Structure 1
Amino acid sequence: MNEHRELREQLGVYALGHGTADERAAVRAHLDGCAACRAELAALVPLRARLADVDPDRLDEVPAPPPGLGDRVLAGIAAEQATGQARPGRRRWAPAVAAVGIAAAAFGVGWLVRPVPDAPPLEAVAVQVTAPDVAATADVVPHTWGMEVRLHGAGFTAGEVYRVQVTEDDGGTVPAGEFLGVGPAQLDCNLNSSVLREDAIGFQVLDSSGAVVVTSDL
């Protein structure tokens, strides 16, 4: 049970493509015999795409309320009290309620009106599928730190671990992460490589046996 708990705690790291080679091998071996962890990993994999869209430079930003929001909230409270709709027993709570309301409104509206960076440029690429039950499409996104592969598809064997690698212009290959197949369900995952777009000539998706199931020439 202790080993199961320890390996289960590593599923998040594994889903993000991190961990040492020995740690990842231990998780893969555990997944082969644990249906519960395979199901949990399948639920974690789609979150990686959302995390890839997070801008780490903006995590500490505090949303600011729009101008005049506090005055409008206080004016509304004052108008309600003036019409006698506020219950006498609750008037002593009005300042505290107003403060909480202003804080909540400021945070919510500030989050909604925060500046949103432009979406990264997507380059649709052609893919060739060699596995009979797999359907796939892909886009690549150039970054200053490398290249991102956004893979979409269905038919990847449920519970099987697939590896993605990017081929450089000198013929070498660089790992771009792994994902877990979810069977006939729609699969969307973002895979990151340190290879710059201008240095990449293709990428491949390999199954657990090392066979290529999807390939693309860039």
Structure 2
Amino acid sequence: MNDFVHHRRTELLGTYVLNHLTGPELAAVQDHLDDCAECRRTVAELAPVVRALARVDADDVTVPAHLEELVVQRVDAQRGRRGRTPLLLAAAAAVVIAGATWWFLSPSVPLEPVALDRQAPGVTAEASLVPHTWGVEIKLDGQGFAAGQTYQVAVTRADGGEVSAGSFIGTGTNVMHCNLNSSVLRANASGFVVRDAAGTITLSSTFPQR
């Protein structure tokens, strides 16, 4: 399994141990755990964090700004005494952040993984969408997009038209996390395309019909 896929699965461990994954994302993490002893150890070590979160009363907690930075710093302070690894630090932070997000944001809009029809050579990516009342949000994670190059993203409508969802700058071999928004409602959205500066399709997806 390549580094990008491993990185993406690791990012989901916090949500996984909180039992907040479903569908394709849950299956993907479970498959990864079957093959990755390192991540299995991390999941086992996160159990005390999950138990601690279960005892928290959300009504008595105020979420501070820069939550992720604060969590990583606090866990990092224990590294010398407990031998925490960078992977466990990231996963522990993800557990707390995922738990806080679950309690305080109370997500009611489902995250819908979508398959990619086309990926240009050297590009590795995963995508999902969020059907909002104002339109479709695309969450795109990937690497291999030419560093410094601007890419345009458009959501395709069921009638064949396209509506801009924004743009991003490629990060080369570094993993990119990008949220893109369009005014096309989920019922009218049929997919999305990513084009490079020359207008060539670098990435595309067709959404399941609903």
TM-score normalized by structure 1? Answer: 0.48
Higher Rg: 1
